[in-house]
Amino acid sequence: MSETRPRGGWLIGLSLFVAFSLSILPMPLPAEALRPQWVAMVVVFWCLHTPERIGVFSAFASGVALDVISGTLLGQHALTLSLLAYLVVELHQRIRIFPMWQQTLFVWVLLLAERLLTLWVLGATGQPMPALSYWAPTFLGLIFWPWLSALLGDLGRRAGTL
Amino acid sequence: MAVILSLGLIIADHHYDHLGTVRSALSLVAYPLHYVVDLPAHMMRDTQGRLTNAAELRARNAALHRENLTLKARLQQFEALEAENMRLRDLLGSSFSVGERVLIAEIMSLDIAPYRQQVMINKGSRSGLFVGQPVLDANAVMGQVIQTNPFTSTVLLITDAEHALPVEINRNGLRSVAAGTGLSQELQLLHIPKNADVRVGDLLVTSGMGERFPPGYPVARIKTVRHDPDNPFITVLAEPTAALDRSREVLLVWTMDPVLQQQALSDTQGAEAPPRP
C-alpha cells in the first residue's frame, strides 16, 4: 500500500461532484421531499471501501462544501458527515463482509442517524422544524444503496481506485 | 476532533457573523457548480426561445406592445397622481421619495436549503446588491437578500418560517405583521384583535415600518379569516400576490436613502430577518 501511489483519485472527486450536483438539482415539487442523501451515501461508500484514503477529515471537508453549496448553517452537514465517516471507518472491516441486504440495512441506520443529527442541529439553532416527510429520503437511500454500491464498485475497480 | 470543529463552526455561524466573509469566499468556489447545475434549465429556456415560430413571436410582440401602451397610459395618470400626492404630503410636512433604481436579476434553477423558502439569484455584490435589500417581482414583494456573494446572492422569501414583514391593510390602514408559514402560498397575520376590521379579499401592502421594505408595495391578499374560540386573536391567512414559485425574473430596488441603508446593514449583522414583535 505504501509503495504504490494510490490511483483513481479522480473517481472519488467526480462522484462527490455528481453527488453535490444531484443534491441541488431542481426537482418537481412532489419529488423534492424525497431527494436521497446523495453526498452522505457517496461518502459512506468511499469510507467503507477506501478507509485509508477517505476518512473523517475528507468527510468534514465535503460536509463544509455541501453547507456552502446548499446555503445551510456552516458546519451542519460537516458534523453529520464526519460522525458518519467515523462510524464507518471504525466498523468497515465488519460491514464489508456483510451480505448486501445486511449492509443496506446498516447504511439505512446510518442515513437515519444523519437525519436525526441534522434534526438536532436544526432544533438547537431554532430553525423551523421540517415535516414528517423529512424521514422519507432514508427509505430512498435504502432502495438506492445496492445500485450505488454496485455502480461505484464497478467504476472503482476499472479506474483502479479500489 | 472534527466533531468539535463542526460544533464550533455551527455555533460561530449561528451566533456571530464573522463567517460571512469566509462563506462568501467559499461560495465563489462553489459558483462553477451552481452554474453547471443551472445550465440545463437555462439552455432549455434558450432552446424554447429559438424554437418558437415567427407567428407566435409576432403575436407575443403585438400583445406586449398593447400592454406597453396601456401601462404607459396608466403611468401618465400615475405621474400626475404622484405629483399631487407629493404636493399634499408637502402640505402635511411628510414627503418621501417613491421608486428609485431597479435592477433585474434571474432566479437560478437550484434547490438550495431544503425545507426553507430561499432562492438563489444570479446577481451579487459585484452588481451592488446589499444584505437586507428588498426583492420584488412584477406583482408584489417577494423577499429580501440575506447573503451576497460576488456573483450570486441568496434571497429569503416572505413565506419562509423565519421571515416576518410589517404590512398594512390597503383599505383602512390597519397595521400588522405578516409572518411566513413555511408553505409557499401562505402568510399569517399576527396579533389581530377580535374586533378588527379585516375582510377576505383585502389587499395587504408594505407599511414601511421596518425601514427595510419601501412603503406601499402590495404583498398579499387575505384569503381566510377565522374566529377560534380559544384564541384571543383571530387567525388571518393571506396568499402572496407575488408568483413566488413561478417567477423567473426578480426586481431589486434601491429605495432607501444611504443613511437608512447603512442602518439596515448594521442591523443585519445581528439578525438576518426582521425581528418579530
Give me Rg for the CA atoms of chain B: 21
A43 min Cα distance to partner chain B (Å): 15
Domains of chain B, first to last: 2-51 (no CATH), 104-268 (2.40.10.340)
> Would you list the DSSP string of B67-106?
HHHHHHHHHHHHHHHHHHHHHHHHHHT-------EEEEEE
Q: Looking at residue A5, what is its pLDDT? A: 60
In angstroms, the CA A51 to CA A58 distance is 10
Answer for the pair A43, A81: CB distance below 8 angstroms, yes or no: yes
pLDDT band at B277 (very low <50, low <70, confident <90, very high): very low
DSSP secondary structure letter of residue A6: P
Q: State pLDDT tens for residues B211-229.
A: 788 888 889 999 999 888 8
Among A21, A57, A128, select the one facing B162 at the smallest CB separation.
A128
**Strand, helix or coil for residue B126:** helix
Does the beta-carbon distance from A60 to B5 stay under 8 Å? Answer: yes
Burial-class residue B125 by CB neighbours within 10 Å (0-12, 13-18, 19+).
middle
Q: Looking at residue B97, what is its pLDDT? A: 53
Q: State pLDDT tens for residues B193-207.
A: 888 889 999 999 988
For the cut 80, the answer to whether the pLDDT of residue A59 exceeds it is yes
Q: Does B33 touch chain A (CB under 8 A)?
A: yes
Q: Does B265 touch chain A (CB under 8 A)?
A: no
Mean pLDDT of chain B: 80
DSSP secondary structure letter of residue B111: -
Q: State pLDDT tens for residues B95-129.
A: 555 556 778 888 887 777 667 788 888 888 888 88
Look at strands B187-193 and B101-106 and give their pairing: unpaired
Does the beta-carbon distance from B112 to A24 stay under 8 Å? Answer: yes
Which of residues 2 through 31 in chain A touch B, CB cutoff 8 A?
17, 20-21, 23-27
In angstroms, the CA B120 to CA B148 distance is 10
Q: Which three cell numbers stand for residue A141?
A: 437511500
Q: Does B43 touch chain A (CB under 8 A)?
A: no
10 Å Cβ neighbour count for B18? 9
- The CB-side HSE value for B97 (13 A sphere, CA atoms) comes to 9
Answer for the pair B243, B139: CB distance below 8 angstroms, yes or no: yes
> Would you list the DSSP string of A102-145?
HHHHHHHHHHHHHHHHHHHHHHHTTPPPP-GGGGHHHHHHHHHH
Q: Does B1 touch chain A (CB under 8 A)?
A: yes
Does the beta-carbon distance from A26 to B26 stay under 8 Å? Answer: no
In angstroms, the CA B250 to CA A9 distance is 41
Lowest mean pLDDT among A5-19, B19-33, B253-267: B253-267
pLDDT band at B239 (very low <50, low <70, confident <90, very high): very high
Does the beta-carbon distance from A72 to B113 stay under 8 Å? Answer: yes
Q: Which three cell numbers stand for residue A48?
A: 467503507
H or E stretch including A20? helix A9-24
**Residues 6 or more apart whose Cβ sits within 8 Å of residue B98:** B82, B214, B216, B255
Residue spans of the domains in chain A: they are 33-159
